[in-house]
């Protein structure tokens, strides 16, 4: 489950991307509606240097190996320059050491990202969780800050700009029974589309995950079956957002960013979530589809 942050700041005009519908790309110069101008807070997409993919191994099938099983080369914390201390390496896997206190409660916790933006790709990896564990895989994410009336800068959570592939112990975490039609169970597009069939393996066992993004078409795979398909930057995508916790009325900043996820270049970071529970990721590879 995610915490909903109050981002309804008293700012008159939004300064960034606006909704794309029907597959047509719009930019920051495109005029927004009066309601979005009134409700969406001012924000900034932070741009940092990206790692050079040529430094990473490519396997025989053309996948770039994003994690070497030994160190965090290429990885850093979301909104940070280093990997937070709660993330470690255990038996060739990236592990988050849970505090049991919920999402990003520890100072040395927080989400992590691979420091390169991807556009069209197929991401494959394996994951497992502890009993009652909760986490997520993010893609097309941006690093977003907002500024309040006193000039204080706040790093907004990663999931307001990124679709989420849910990682969850369906049998033991209460989030599995929330949402609608099981759309918060593992491999689902969180809070929007349930994974069907639901073929998750129990906690403590490795699950295979696949996320393909290609020119707006997105597919989630779990344990060698495709379980979710949807299409970004379409009227249907906007309708799904409006029916979710990220609607324009409930959360205008999230709606703005997710409706235009990937920004004007339609690319973003891949990340893993600190939700306070033990979770492991390994064999993390990506194939560029451009």
Q: What is the pLDDT of residues 252-280, one digit of tens each?
A: 999 999 999 999 999 999 999 999 899 99
3-state percent helix, strand, coil for the chain, nearest multiple of 5: 10, 30, 55
The enclosing H or E element of 23 equals none
In percent, the amount of the chain with pLDDT more than 90 equals 79
**Both structure tokens of 109:** 């916790």
Establish if 35 belongs to a structural domain.
no
What are the pLDDT digits (tens) for 169-225?
Answer: 999 999 999 989 999 999 999 999 999 999 999 999 999 999 999 999 999 999 999
Whether the per-residue pLDDT at 232 is higher than 80: the answer is: yes
Whole-number Å distance between alpha carbons of 197 and 100: 30
Whole-number Å distance between alpha carbons of 104 and 117: 23
Establish if 252 belongs to a structural domain.
yes
Q: Which class for 5: exposed (0-12), middle (13-18), buried (19 or more C-beta within 10 A)? A: middle
Assign 290 to helix, strand or coil: coil
Q: What is the DSSP letter of 58?
A: B
pLDDT at 92 (0 to 100): 97
**Both structure tokens of 12:** 């008159």
Instruction: For residue 197, say if its preceding peptide bond is cis, omega within 30 degrees of 0.
Output: yes
Closest Cα partner for 41 from 251, 273, 282, 287? 251
Establish if 121 belongs to a structural domain.
yes
CATH number at 240 reads 2.60.120.560
Establish if 40 belongs to a structural domain.
no
Closest Cα partner for 114 from 261, 269, 266? 269
Total domain count, the chain:
1
Establish if 14 belongs to a structural domain.
no
Supply the pTM of this predicted model. 0.85
List, in order, residues 6 or more apart from 75 with CB less than 8 Å away: 67, 83, 94, 112, 113, 114, 115
Closest Cα partner for 154 from 163, 145, 166, 142? 145
Establish if 258 belongs to a structural domain.
yes
Instruction: Give helix 235-242 / helix 252-259 axis angle, nearest 10°.
Output: 160
What are the pLDDT digits (tens) for 110-134?
Answer: 999 999 999 999 999 999 999 999 9
CA distances from 21 to 45, 155, 189 (A): 21, 28, 20
Give the angle 187-261-197 at the CA atoms, nearest 5°: 15
Establish if 89 belongs to a structural domain.
yes
**Both structure tokens of 101:** 């206190």
Question: How are beta strands 43-46 and 143-147 bridged, if at all?
Answer: antiparallel
Establish if 249 belongs to a structural domain.
yes
What are the pLDDT digits (tens) for 136-165?
Answer: 999 999 999 999 888 899 999 999 999 999
Enclosing domain of residue 196: 45-145+156-288
Whole-number Å distance between alpha carbons of 170 and 191: 14
């Amino acid at each position: 489950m995610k915490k909903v942050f109050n981002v309804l700041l008293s700012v008159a005009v939004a300064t960034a991307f606006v909704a794309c519908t029907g597959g047509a790309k719009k930019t920051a110069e495109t005029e927004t509606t009066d309601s979005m101008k009134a409700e969406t807070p001012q924000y900034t997409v932070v741009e940092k240097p990206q790692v050079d993919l040529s430094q990473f191994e490519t396997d025989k099938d053309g996948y770039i190996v994003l994690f070497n099983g030994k160190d965090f080369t290429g990885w850093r914390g979301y909104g940070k320059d280093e990997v937070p201390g709660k993330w470690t390496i255990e038996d060739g896997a990236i592990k988050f050491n849970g505090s049991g206190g919920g999402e990003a409660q520890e100072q040395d916790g927080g989400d992590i990202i691979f420091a390169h933006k991807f556009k069209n790709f197929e991401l494959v990896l394996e994951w497992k969780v502890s009993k009652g564990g909760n986490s997520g895989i993010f893609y097309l994410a941006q690093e977003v800050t907002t500024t309040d009336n006193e000039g204080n800068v706040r790093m907004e959570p990663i999931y307001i700009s990124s679709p989420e592939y849910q990682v969850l112990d369906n049998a033991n975490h209460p989030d599995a029974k929330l949402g609608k039609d099981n759309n918060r169970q593992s491999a689902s597009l969180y809070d929007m589309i349930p994974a069907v069939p639901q073929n998750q393996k129990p906690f403590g066992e490795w699950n295979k995950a696949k996320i393909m993004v290609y020119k707006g078409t997105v597919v989630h795979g779990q344990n060698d079956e495709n379980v979710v398909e949807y299409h970004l930057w379409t009227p249907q995508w906007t309708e799904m957002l409006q029916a979710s916790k990220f609607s324009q009325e409930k959360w205008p900043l999230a709606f703005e960013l997710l409706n235009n996820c990937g920004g004007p270049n339609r690319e973003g970071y891949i990340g893993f979530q600190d939700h306070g529970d033990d979770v492991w990721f390994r064999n993390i590879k990506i194939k560029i589809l451009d």
